[in-house]
Amino acid sequence: MRSFIFGFLIGLILLPLCAWLYVRFGYAPVATASSPMLFERRLASMALKARIEKEAPKNAPLQATNDNLIAGAHVYRTHCAVCHGLPGQPDYPAATGMFPKPPQLFKGHGVTDDPPGETYWKVTNGIRLTGMPAYADSLKEDERWQVSLMLADADKLSPDARTVLSQPLDIR
């Protein structure tokens, strides 16, 4: 029994020490081109899902009217498109060099399956260690809801909203 307790205590000290040495001496992958650490994606995804489930608003205070969706398209073009792309256009260089890569919201599986409250939470709070900034202090609440509603309804936008999103960005 004594050897078990001794081994357990050594393990309690040795494991954190090895982890600290791994990080301290530069072995941890920190470059965007590096592969993720063991369990990095799983732990981050689990924490994010739990937090969003706990805090995301269940109901939007705005309706998905054509005016709100057009306003959301303008907000998206100005603040989101450089990382998350525009429909039918190639990825921008900033997005291709990020880790993790930002989802291209108009290609493949976008956010139309996400409730607007989940997208609103992400826009408002950002997501740590992903490059996704928090817009709580730079966009008004209505603007955050408009872009969230527009993304939730991205597969059924009016021609006016699509026109806003079809113009290429000028990012010189």
The verdict on residue 60 lying in a domain is: yes
Which residue segment(s) compose the domain that 65 sits in? 56-166
Exposed/middle/buried for residue 86 (C-beta within 10 Å: 0-12, 13-18, 19+):
buried
The verdict on residue 42 lying in a domain is: no
Q: Count Cβ atoms below 10 Å from residue 26 Cβ, excluding itself.
A: 8
The verdict on residue 153 lying in a domain is: yes
The verdict on residue 121 lying in a domain is: yes
Q: What is the CATH number of the domain that holds 83?
A: 1.10.760.10
pLDDT tens-digit readout, 65-96 = 999 999 999 999 999 999 999 998 888 888 88
What percentage of the chain's residues is helix, strand, coil (to nearest 5)? 55, 0, 45
The verdict on residue 130 lying in a domain is: yes
The verdict on residue 61 lying in a domain is: yes
- For 104, 117, 134, 163, the CA distances from 82, given in Å and listed in that order, are 10, 22, 15, 17
The verdict on residue 126 lying in a domain is: yes
**Bond before 93 cis per omega within 30 degrees:** no
The verdict on residue 15 lying in a domain is: no
Q: Count Cβ atoms below 10 Å from residue 145 Cβ, excluding itself.
A: 27
Q: How many domains does the chain have?
A: 1
Residue bearing tokens 């429909």: 87
Give 10-residue mean pLDDT values along the chain (172 residues): 83 87 87 79 90 96 97 96 91 87 82 87 94 96 98 93 90 64
